[in-house]
Structure formats: C-alpha cells, structure tokens
C-alpha cells in the first residue's frame, strides 16, 4: 500500500528544467560544443559537475581543462541559473501541482524531495512550497547521482517508509531508472519514448491526480 510520495523538483514541480537548459546551453556554445536534443535530455536529473563532464565529453574537450577550471565553469553556469530563479514566483508552479500536493496532504500521504539540485530549497521558497516538503534529501550527502537509486532510497528513509510504500515522480529518464532501482513505483511526466521505463506516465502535470494514478496502477 502506498503511503508516501518522493518528488523530483526540476521539470515536475516547476519549469526550472528550462532555466537549467538555458544556462548549460549558453556555456556549451561558448565552449564550442554543439547543442542537441539528446545532449539536453541526457542532462536532466544529472548533478552539476556530472552535467559539465557530459557536455565537455560531447565536444571531445574533457581533457582540455584542469579540475579548478571545471569548477569555475560549473560555477559560471550556476550563477546564470541562480539569476533566473531569483525572478521566480508561485506562478512558476506547474499546472495541477498545488492541488495535487494539497490532495496528498489531506489524504495523509507523506512527502519528501529527491532533487539533485543544491538550489532545491531556494526554488521551493520562491514557489512558496517549503511547507509541503519538510523532508529533503541533501544532494551533497550522496555518493552517487541519478540513475543510481541512492537519492530515492534516502527519500523513502526520510519518511520512515519502505521503498515499496512510496511513489517516485520524475521527468527524467535517469530519474525513472533511479526510482525503479529503488523498488518504488515510478510516475513519469513527459513523452512516452523518453519515459518508457515508467510504471505510470502522464504527458504533463495537469493529468497527475491521485485518482488517475490509482486508475493506471490497476
């Protein structure tokens, strides 16, 4: 029986995945790396330094920079991203999410956050959703990022629930893989091809309701 929900943030609760993409694309093109949809999708759910490494490898330039230079590049991207999220308001909450969180709370489900983003708490504040997420996995505490299950295992642990009693919600293929490997039920938000491994899938957040999830879980 499902008792808790473990949420990804970027691309699920809010449209910040657009800002991550914009900031990475700007950096990639400055470094002469060609931006593609495959590169873009492959970065979703991936930590800051791992994302940079993927971009540099896509351009075959991963050995052109020292560790300190890579840290500086990642910091440059983050500065641009942080500037974007400063402008955010509750209007940036994706359709249906506020009602869904209220419904979960009213029905006694426990809720935690499993975002790889170190900016997660700031984004929740901007959205005025902090109160809904009393339990947040600290991405700095992880030994491995998504698609490793660690972040979703910790998300369930924070709720004192076994993974089998949790649903994980994700927009990224790496995230769905992490949820499945953690033995939670996976709900994917996005296109069928990218999220083929999801137990339940919706095209967008507006369709994600408790009733619809139950119906699809059978």
- Could you list the residues that contact Mg ion (CB under 5 A)? 8, 10-11, 171-172
Output 41 or 62, the one with its CB closest to Mg ion.
41
Q: Which stretch binds ligand G6P (CB under 6 A): 28-36, 39-47, 152-160, 192-200?
A: 39-47
CB-CB contact of 21 with 128 (8 Å): no
- State yes or no: residue 112 binds ligand G6P (CB under 6 A): no
Q: Which of 8, 50, 148, 199 is catalytic?
A: 8
- State yes or no: residue 14 binds ligand G6P (CB under 6 A): no
Q: CA angle, 154 as apex, 158 and 182 as ends, to 5°?
A: 125
- State yes or no: residue 45 binds ligand G6P (CB under 6 A): yes
- State yes or no: residue 177 binds ligand G6P (CB under 6 A): no
Virtual torsion, Cα 29, 63, 67, 78, nearest 10 deg: 20
Output 72 or 215, the one with its CB closest to ligand G6P.
72
HSE-CB for 27 with a 13 A CA cutoff: 26
| Cα 110 to Cα 210: distance, rounded to the nearest angstrom | 14
Q: Binding pattern to ligand G6P, positions 67-106, x when CB under 6 A? A: -----------x----------------------------
* The pair of three-digit structure tokens given for residue 80, joined into one six-digit string: 């641009």
| Cα 9 to Cα 202: distance, rounded to the nearest angstrom | 16
| Cα 175 to Cα 136: distance, rounded to the nearest angstrom | 16
User: What's the closest the beta carbon of residue 191 comes to Mg ion, in angstroms?
Assistant: 14
Residues annotated as part of the active site = 8, 10
Residues that bind ligand G6P in the complex, under the rule CB under 6 A = 10, 17, 20, 43-48, 51, 78, 115-119
């Amino acid at each position: 029986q499902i008792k808790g929900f473990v949420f990804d943030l970027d691309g699920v609760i809010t449209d910040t995945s657009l800002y991550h993409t914009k900031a990475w694309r700007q950096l990639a093109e400055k470094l002469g790396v060609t931006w593609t949809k495959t590169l873009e999708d492959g970065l979703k759910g991936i930590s800051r330094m791992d994302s940079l490494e993927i971009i540099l490898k896509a351009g075959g330039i991963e050995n052109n920079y020292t560790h300190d230079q890579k840290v500086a590049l990642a910091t440059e991207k983050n500065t641009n991203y942080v500037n974007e999220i400063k402008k955010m308001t509750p209007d940036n909450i994706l359709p249906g999410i506020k009602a869904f969180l209220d419904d979960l709370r009213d029905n006694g489900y426990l809720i935690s956050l499993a975002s790889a983003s170190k900016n997660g708490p700031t984004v929740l504040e901007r959205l005025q959703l902090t109160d809904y997420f009393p339990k947040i996995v600290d991405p700095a505490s992880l030994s491995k990022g998504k698609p490793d299950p660690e972040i979703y295992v910790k998300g369930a642990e924070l709720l004192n629930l076994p993974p089998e009693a949790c649903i994980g919600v994700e927009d990224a293929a790496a995230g769905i893989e992490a949820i499945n490997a953690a033995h939670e039920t996976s709900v994917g938000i996005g296109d069928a091809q990218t999220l083929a491994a999801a137990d339940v899938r919706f095209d967008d957040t507006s369709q994600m309701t408790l009733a619809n999830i139950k119906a699809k879980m059978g």
